[in-house]
Amino acid sequence: MSKLVPPHGGKGLVCCLLEGKALEDEKKKAAGLKQIEISSRAKGDLIMMGIGGFSPLNGFMKKADWKGVCEKMLLSDGTFWPVPVTLDVSAEDAKDIQGKEVALVRNGELMATMKVEEVYEMTEADKKWECELVFKGQGPDSEKFWEVAEKDHPGVKMVMAQKQFNIGGPVKVLSQGDFPEKFKGVYKTPKELRDEMDKRGWKKVAALQLRNPMHRSHEYLAKLAVETCDGVVIHSLVGALKPGDIPADVRVKCIDTLVEKYFVKDYVIQAGYPLDMRYAGPREALLHATFRQNYGINNQLVGRDHAGVGDFYGMFEAQEIFDKIPQPKEEGKRLLCEPMKIDWTFYCKKCDGMASMRTCPHSKEDRVILSGTKLRKMLSEKAEVPDHFGRDEVLTILRGYYEGLTEKVEIKMQRAASGSTM
């Protein structure tokens, strides 16, 4: 009997991925359906619905769900859900598809079929309303939100660029893309990760969210979790990121090196999941916790500026939001994955080790401020990386990656990364 936290929604793992004869039959049927090209974000969302990562969702949201999630973080049936999962289509594609089945494709690959139960228009005002509720935080950039967001916030740009209509309804997923092959041994479905943790007898499990290469603060957080839990999952996003971020294959190589040399393997699992980043800060921290519950994880490490971008969010806003979420009466509809709230961490020269604001009494000048953004900026500019910022073996991998780049992207430093607000 598994000791792990049950999947979110109270329905077990809701998996929309077809296999065997059902898969072959659906592929044949899809050949005769209207084809709709989808975005990279929608592809990742589809795969998560396929493997059960987005349980209890079994399709893209209809208008009542979209509205309830934006406004109250609740699906229309009262289940907690923090971020819209919608599929946008053009006016041309939206014609005469209500009540019909369509095929969803991405760059020529057949991803799914969908029963279109609802077609609803998304006006500019609707998109702005979604952005203000989902992406607007308490950081200085949000004081002038619409002056900067459409230019500097990748999540807002994504929503505002969406087509004129959304379509909602259940899906049958036909592919996991190239993730199982490209990230073999790292990419894991919720069932695969649950099976692995069950074999180890784990019950209390923490996840470390990663979209940047693993530096000393990440390593410290993971080891804090190992000390207090049965084990930690270093759970890395292997979907699409914004320009300037480091691709998944490089990050995976860095994590492999760290786990091999600096962790006791019995207490750590490296895993990858197929989503694109939304950069929704606090709301995305809640999304991460929601789907991690489906992976069998009941604790999520939340440090400084989790899933943030620029200066749109307060430093610890992603921790605070967990105390404000709705609590449905039915336990199955509540979020059961809890945050492990960690203060700002750094290397302190006087402490001679990793520390946090709660454990280190020394001055800012004694501290090496660690952040993924700061590391990317230093490496992209071929600047010297301070001692104790990252492990030498990891820095060697990252320097090799940057030396091979033919096109550089300017890395914008935010307050959280620079340490200016410490």
169-210 pLDDT per residue, tens: 999 999 999 999 999 999 999 999 999 999 999 999 999 998
User: Is residue 334 annotated as a catalytic residue, yes or no?
Assistant: no
CA dist 112 and 130 (Å) reads 26
Alpha carbon dihedral 99, 100, 104, 109, in 10-degree steps, equals 170
Active site residue 211: yes
DSSP secondary structure string for all residues of 259-321: HHHHS-GGGEEEEEE-PPP---THHHHHHHHHHHHHTT--EEEE-TTTT--TT-S-TTHHHHG
Token pair of 21 as six digits: 């004869």
pLDDT at 76: 98
Q: Flag whether pLDDT at 79 surpasses 90.
A: yes
pLDDT at residue 404, as a whole number: 82
Which tops the pLDDT comparison, 347 or 213?
347
**pLDDT at residue 378, as a whole number:** 82
Q: Which of the residues 166, 212, 294, 298 is marked catalytic?
A: 212
For residue 167, the model assigns a pLDDT of: 98
Q: 405: closest CA among 255, 247, 179?
A: 247
Task: Label residues 267-280 b or e (16+ Cβ within 10 Å = b).
Answer: bbbbbbbbbbbbbb
Residue 300: pLDDT over 80: yes
Mean pLDDT value of segment 150-164: 96
Structure tokens at 414: 């935010």
- Per the prediction, the chain carries an average pLDDT of 92
How far apart are the C-alpha atoms of 402 and 397, rounded to whole Å?
9
Q: pLDDT digits over 40-72, tens only?
A: 999 999 999 999 999 999 999 999 999 999 999
- pLDDT score of 361: 96
Give whole-number Cα distances, 149 to 159, 199, 331, in Å.
11, 46, 36
- Catalytic option among 41, 106, 194, 211: 211
Smallest CA-to-CA distance from 345 within 395, 291, 302 is with 302
* CATH class assigned to 20-173: alpha beta
Does the pLDDT of residue 106 top 90, yes or no? Answer: yes
Identify the pLDDT of residue 412: 58
Sequence ranges of the domains in the chain: 20-173
pLDDT at 353: 93
Q: Are 47 and 239 in contact (CB under 8 A)?
A: no
Which of 70, 185, 213 has the alpha carbon at shortest distance from 134? Answer: 70
DSSP string, 200-263: HT--SEEEEEESS---HHHHHHHHHHHHHSSEEEEEEE-S---TTSPPHHHHHHHHHHHHHHHS
Instruction: Give mean pLDDT, residues 273-293.
Output: 96
Write out pLDDT tens, residues 240-262: 877 777 888 998 999 999 999 99
Among 109, 155, 158, 165, residue whose Cα is nearest residue 134 = 155
Q: What is the pLDDT of residues 362-403, one digit of tens each?
A: 999 999 886 767 777 788 888 888 788 888 999 899 889 888
Q: What are phi and psi of 192, to 5 degrees?
A: -65, -45
